[in-house]
């Protein structure tokens, strides 16, 4: 059985993420809240040890995930070194 499709945005952290992130954290947070209020961003956050493992967000569409990344202050200011979007099939949901 195939579940509902969501789109996962994976961020790879820049080498000096701990130094760069604080300067852009408020703008990144505002960006995330705006997308969440639109309903396109469902979940977002860093993995434990973000320096090594990065972060992820879950979106309703591939286009929303790409648009988020292309306009995210973390991407635009080098806090994120690379990103990609993957389709993900949600099998259990509320």
Tens of each residue's pLDDT in the chain, 94 residues: 466 999 999 999 999 898 999 999 999 999 999 999 999 999 999 999 888 899 999 999 999 999 999 999 999 999 999 999 999 998 876 6
Considering only the top CATH level, what class is 4-90? alpha beta
Domain ranges of the chain: 4-90
Cα 8 from chain centre: 7
Residues whose CB falls within 8 Å of the CB of residue 48, separated by 6 or more in sequence, listed in order = none
What whole-number distance in Å separates Cα of residue 94 and Cα of residue 84? 27
Task: Write down the pLDDT at residue 77.
Answer: 97
Task: Write down the pLDDT at residue 94.
Answer: 63
Task: Write down the pLDDT at residue 2.
Answer: 61
């Amino acid at each position: 059985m195939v579940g509902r499709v969501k789109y996962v945005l994976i961020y790879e952290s820049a080498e000096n993420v701990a130094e760069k992130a604080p300067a852009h954290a408020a703008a990144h947070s505002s960006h995330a809240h705006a997308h969440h209020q639109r309903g396109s961003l469902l979940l977002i956050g860093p993995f434990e040890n973000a320096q090594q493992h990065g972060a992820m967000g879950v979106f309703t569409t591939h286009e929303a995930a790409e648009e988020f990344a292309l306009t995210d202050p973390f991407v635009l200011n080098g806090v994120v070194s690379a990103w990609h979007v993957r389709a993900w099939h949600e099998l259990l949901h509320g």
